[in-house]
Structure formats: structure tokens, C-alpha cells
Amino acid sequence: MTRRKRYSAEFKREALRRANEEGVTDMLVAEEMGFSTRQLRRWRDEAKEHGDDAFPGYGKARDKEMMLLRRKLKKTEQERDFLKEAAAYFAKESK
């Protein structure tokens, strides 16, 4: 049984950067760099979903915890901003 090939975060980012260049297709990038177009789509989806936190790698537990805390902070900030807007709206309506 063969082991799955693991790609570094830099490799994934480079592949996505290359695929976003004008006139370059996903198939061309996949063939040049040695992986499937399906894999490229998965990386693109992950990058879109997680932004800068995409491709955390297989680092230390501390790195994973930091990534989770950043996501939680981002969500909390979005909730705070929503509540600020709602409070301002209702304060304006009650006048």
C-alpha cells in the first residue's frame, strides 16, 4: 500500500498562485506540478474558506490551537460588529 503524498503549504500556495495567472488552466498547472485538478480544486476551496489560516500544515499542537483561536476571534468580532449595528439601528428607531 502506498502512502499519500503530502504537499507543503508553500507548494499549495504556489500552485494556487500559478493557477490564478491569466491564460493558465488548472489542468496545465496540475500536469506541470504533478497532482490532479481535483486536488487543486480542494486546495482552492480550503483557501477560500479559511483565508490566511488555510494549509496550517502538520506543525505543533500549539500552532493548531493558535489557528483555532484566530478563527474563534474572527467569528466573535463579526458577531460583535453585527450587534453594534443592530444596537445603533434600534436606538435610531426608538427616537
37 lies in which domain range?
7-55
Instruction: Write down the pLDDT at residue 59.
Output: 58
Are 12 and 46 part of one and the same domain? Answer: yes
**Residue 28: Cβ-neighbour burial (10 angstroms; 0-12, 13-18, 19+):** middle
Share of the chain above pLDDT 90, in %: 55
Looking at the fold, whether 65 and 48 belong to one and the same domain comes out as no
What pTM was computed for the model?
Answer: 0.56
Query: Residue 6: which pLDDT band, with cuts at 50, 70 and 90?
Result: confident
- 47 with 67, same domain? no
Lowest mean pLDDT among 7-11, 22-26, 62-66: 62-66
Q: Are the beta carbons of 15 and 29 closer than 8 angstroms? A: yes
Q: Are residues 50 and 71 in the same domain?
A: no
pLDDT for residue 31 is more than 70: yes
* Half-sphere exposure of residue 53: CA atoms within 13 angstroms, side-chain side: 14
Number of domains in the chain: 2
Whether residue 65 sits in one domain with residue 29: no
C-alpha cell of 86? 443592530
